[in-house]
Amino acid sequence: MNRIDKKFFELKKRKKTALIAYITVGYPTLAVTEQLIIALSKAGVDMFELGMPFSDPLADGPIIQEASAYALKHHISLASVFSLTKHLRTKLEAPLLMMGYYNPILKQGLDNFSKNANQCGLDGIIIPDLPIEESSDLKKCLSQQGIH
């Protein structure tokens, strides 16, 4: 059972809803991103969406667009998200999901991306610009790695 499933099961038993926080990785720095996630976890956040900075974040509002632009200027990449996730995984058990756009994933290759996501400890992936009708190949690769 994936950490996301476990968390929702636990919350359902307690008749609670999930508090899920979104944070752009690398804004303002990777170190601050880590500190914020750990502090938010201690404060009761159940899951985290780790925003992968992207050059053209069409599904995001102006605040996240600005945070992404700032992070990109400071060389934050998909590899940075994986690295931070791997480091966070040693410090907390909360489900970690990556929210990002399809192009960097496709560029890395679906199998490679899925394996890297598993190795660093991601539990789920959210891709707002990938239509569900076109997601079967990635979904298959992620499922093989136990990632939602």
Residues identified as active-site: 49, 60
First to last CA, the chain: 11
CA distance 78 to 76: 7
Specify the residue for token string 């499933």. 5
Residue 106 vs residues 12, 43, 137: alpha-carbon distances, Å: 35, 35, 11
Extract the tokens encoding 73: 């200027």
* Contact of 99 with 128, CB cutoff 8 Å: yes
Q: State the Cα–Cα distance between residues 8 and 34, nearest whole angstrom.
A: 23
